């Protein structure tokens, strides 16, 4: 690789009560070959490539920033609304807030007790929530670069901000859900039915929360009354835990991914299941880094296109599936070398038809959902990809990895 390809790389070393609140079944290989079968600023920015431990073959010319401040695997990343600030959290019990364009640290989120696995900016990016596995949740003011609120639950599974109001929702391993008005201490809880809550989110109208559980149950909860609107369980529900869930752009459909190897579509108003997609028609012979054979079937991630009538699912069997949820048809099966751990769609302002995936083979990829064709491959990580995000302006792809780094790539 020519030295010119690396000139742009930068290394960062060092309220609650007030709320009113397809038809073309083709398989595409990752190599592009088609088969017609089914603290305040303390960063030390190093411009000298000789001082880093990335061998030449691990540097991607599309990579513009490599953030190397974390000392352990990085589990979560998020990008603010302005596409200028990133947060990353890891096993080192720290979250860093840094600039997207240069990797310069703005401030450090400390006082966590375990691995930081949750981090998310609120709707207007004025606040940041970080959470660790032990249950310590903090909210930080971006303007003051300081913690303005702190709470401790039992073992934390996930956090989500309300789409408009400064309201934070969280789910725990004991199955309880918490909701707070920030920075006030107004709080509501949604009781557990005895199993862990594994995923959750708000509907776009901000009046309802959808919660997924470890037994495959999905609940819709009215935020004002705390009444259960629907409870999808039994024969219509998943037979194993919910690994991810997502809401369609129009707010009418829930997509749920499960360890049982399927994705289900259900109504946001009734919880009635309208479709079940089997994501394990394609198998992989590569079982490296999979502890149990049954784990290969797990659907790890699901997301609706922001613009098209398409749903994407990523599975540990190594396939990204693109489904047309209007017709119920599988449009494309896109094969990866190893399991897909995360996916996201580009914003609608950029077209809304590109899907990005992060994988156990240490790579990220972009796919054209209309054709199923591989667009690009993003390399350089030396460990599994744990999280990916696309900047709101669609220009940068951010990935975090087991290797302790976060990489920022030119998306297009």
pLDDT digits (tens, 9 = 90+) for 236-282: 899 999 999 999 999 999 999 999 999 999 999 999 999 999 998 75
Instruction: Determine which helix (DSSP H) or strand (DSSP E) holds 277, and give its type and residue range.
Output: strand 273-278
Antiparallel, parallel or unpaired: β 45-46 and 10-12: antiparallel
Q: Are the CB atoms for 87 and 128 separated by under 8 Å?
A: yes
φ, ψ dihedrals at 282, nearest 5°: -100, 140
Which of 153-167, 184-198, 354-368 is predicted with the least confidence, judged by mean pLDDT? Answer: 184-198
| Residue 218 CA to its chain's centroid (Å) | 19
User: What mean pLDDT comes out for the span 363-372?
Assistant: 97
Q: Is the pLDDT of residue 213 over 90?
A: yes
What is the residue-averaged pLDDT of the chain?
86
pLDDT digits (tens, 9 = 90+) for 8-23: 554 444 434 433 333 3
pLDDT digits (tens, 9 = 90+) for 281-320: 754 433 344 344 444 489 999 999 999 999 999 999 999 9
Q: Name which residue leads in pLDDT, 34 or 108.
A: 108
* pTM: predicted TM-score of the whole model, two decimal places: 0.85
Of the candidates 105, 112, 108, the one whose C-alpha atom is nearest the C-alpha of residue 91 is: 112
Q: Are the CB atoms for 101 and 114 separated by under 8 Å?
A: no
Length of the chain: 412
pLDDT digits (tens, 9 = 90+) for 41-73: 333 333 233 334 445 445 788 999 999 999 999
pLDDT digits (tens, 9 = 90+) for 109-136: 999 999 999 999 999 999 999 999 999 9
Q: Are the CB atoms for 158 and 118 separated by under 8 Å?
A: yes
CA distance 100 to 325: 35
User: What mean pLDDT comes out for the span 93-109?
Assistant: 98
φ, ψ dihedrals at 374, nearest 5°: -70, 130
Residue with tokens 């302790």: 404
Q: Are the CB atoms for 365 and 336 separated by under 8 Å?
A: yes
Q: Is the pLDDT of residue 31 over 90?
A: no
> Which pLDDT score is estimated for 60?
82
Of the candidates 93, 48, 87, the one whose C-alpha atom is nearest the C-alpha of residue 71 is: 93
């Amino acid at each position: 690789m020519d030295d010119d390809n690396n000139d742009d790389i930068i290394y960062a070393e060092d309220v609650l009560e007030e709320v009113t609140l397809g038809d073309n079944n083709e398989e595409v290989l990752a190599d592009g070959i088609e088969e017609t079968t089914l603290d305040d600023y303390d960063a030390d920015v190093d411009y000298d490539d000789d001082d880093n431990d990335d061998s030449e073959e691990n540097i991607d010319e599309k990579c513009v920033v490599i953030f190397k401040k974390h000392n352990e695997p990085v589990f979560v990343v998020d990008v603010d609304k302005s596409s200028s600030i990133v947060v990353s959290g890891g096993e080192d019990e720290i979250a860093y807030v840094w600039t997207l364009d240069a990797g310069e640290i703005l401030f450090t989120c400390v006082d966590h007790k375990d691995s930081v696995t949750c981090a998310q900016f609120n709707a207007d990016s004025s606040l940041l929530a970080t959470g660790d596995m032990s249950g310590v949740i903090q909210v930080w003011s971006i303007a003051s670069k300081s913690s303005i609120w702190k709470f401790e639950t039992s073992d934390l599974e996930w956090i989500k901000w309300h789409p408009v109001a400064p309201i934070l929702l969280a789910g725990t391993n004991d199955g309880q859900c918490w909701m707070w008005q920030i920075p006030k201490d107004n709080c509501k809880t949604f009781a557990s039915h005895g199993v862990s809550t594994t995923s959750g989110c708000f509907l776009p109208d901000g009046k309802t929360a959808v919660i997924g559980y470890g037994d495959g149950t999905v609940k819709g909860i009215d935020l004002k009354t705390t009444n259960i609107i629907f409870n999808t369980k039994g024969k219509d529900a998943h037979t194993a835990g919910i690994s991810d869930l997502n809401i369609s752009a129009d707010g009418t459909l829930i997509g749920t991914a499960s360890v049982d190897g399927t994705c289900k579509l259900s109504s946001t108003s009734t919880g009635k299941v309208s479709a079940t997609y089997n994501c394990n028609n394609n198998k992989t012979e590569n079982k490296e880094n999979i502890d149990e054979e049954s784990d290969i079937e797990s659907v790890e991630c699901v997301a609706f296109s922001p613009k098209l009538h398409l749903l994407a699912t990523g599975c540990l069997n190594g396939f990204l599936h693109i489904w047309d949820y209007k017709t119920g048809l599988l449009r494309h099966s896109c094969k990866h070398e190893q399991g897909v751990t995360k996916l996201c769609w580009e914003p609608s302002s950029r077209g809304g038809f590109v899907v990005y995936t992060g994988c156990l083979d240490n790579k990220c990829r972009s796919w054209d959902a209309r054709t199923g064709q591989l667009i690009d491959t993003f390399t350089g990580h030396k460990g599994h990809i744990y999280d990916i995000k696309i900047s709101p302006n669609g220009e940068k792809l951010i990935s975090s990895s087991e290797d302790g780094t976060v990489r920022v790539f030119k998306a297009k």
